[in-house]
Amino acid sequence: MSFNYSMFNDDKPIYIAGPCSIESKEHIFEMARLVKEAGANFLRGGAFKPRTSIESFQGVGERALEWLVEAGRANALPVVSEIVDVRKLNLYKDVDIIQVGARNMQNFELLKELGKLDKWILLKRGFGATANELLKASEYITKMGNDKVILCERGIRTFENSTRFTLDLNSLALIKKESDLKIIVDPSHAAGISNIVKDLALAGIGAGADGWIIECHKNPNMALSDKEQAIKVGELKEIIDKSNRIKDIIEG
Ligand code: PEP
Ligand code: MN
């Protein structure tokens, strides 16, 4: 059974937090508890990881998705997880928000299948795609009948190489004006380094984002993927408090 969240019908911010990868059952249960305690309202975790190198940890797979759902339900947190293969869609029936990663933004056959569902889809911008291409990609889902789409600005590749990617807040602000879809920021993948994640999250909210998705860990040094950008889960509370305050200012 999926959560029946009316939260997208109101103006409740979308604060998604959790580890890059689900590492074990104990790990995701503990992370869920800590994410809930901090005040985030969605739990993220990857089961199938699209890694640049085949030598890197590829995720635990199917079992991890089951643990994620259980951990979410145990803590009253709807869950978000990335799909990388349309043939695995049946595994996602209890996942509340299906994430399409940057590398699959233009996987149109996948998008069309997701367009047949009555489920929220988090569509991340490809790091080599324009804002217009992101909006065009979203239509592969909406034109199939599913208008439950949340866009995500997660950084694009520019000549700047001191951070992993460059968070494109220009495009976010424009999309906010031109589209009715919700849009959040992913400061974690944009930054690639943990000590500016908070700043980028708050800047995103300041630019009008409906929320953010942040990678966190109990012990970032031990994370099996993306450890450089994982913040300590204890840092979430301040980001949530400040995000709420910025939202009050710009919406007030
Ligand atoms: C992720 O969210 O773990 C991820 C792989 O993100 P992206 O697709 O933006 O690189
Ligand atoms: Mn990651």
CA distances from 206 to 13, 168, 184, 203 (A): 13, 13, 11, 5
Where residue 1 falls among pLDDT bands split at 50, 70, 90?
very low
Give the pLDDT confidence score for residue 9 in this predicted structure.
52
* Closest ligand 1 atom number to CA of residue 20: 3
Q: Which residues of 99-133 are buried (b: 16+ CB within 10 A; e: fewer)?
A: bbbbbbbbbeebbebbbebeebbbbbbbbebebee
Residue 38 has pLDDT above 70, yes or no: yes
Ligand nearest to the CA of 84: 1
- Ligand 1 pocket at CB < 6 A: 20, 46, 50, 82, 101-103, 124, 154, 186, 189
147-176 tens-digit pLDDT: 999 999 999 999 999 999 999 999 999 999
Please count the other Cβ atoms lying within 10 Å of the Cβ belonging to residue 228.
13
* Ligand 1 atom 8, closest CA: 101
Give the pLDDT confidence score for residue 11 in this predicted structure.
72
Give the pLDDT confidence score for residue 8 in this predicted structure.
55
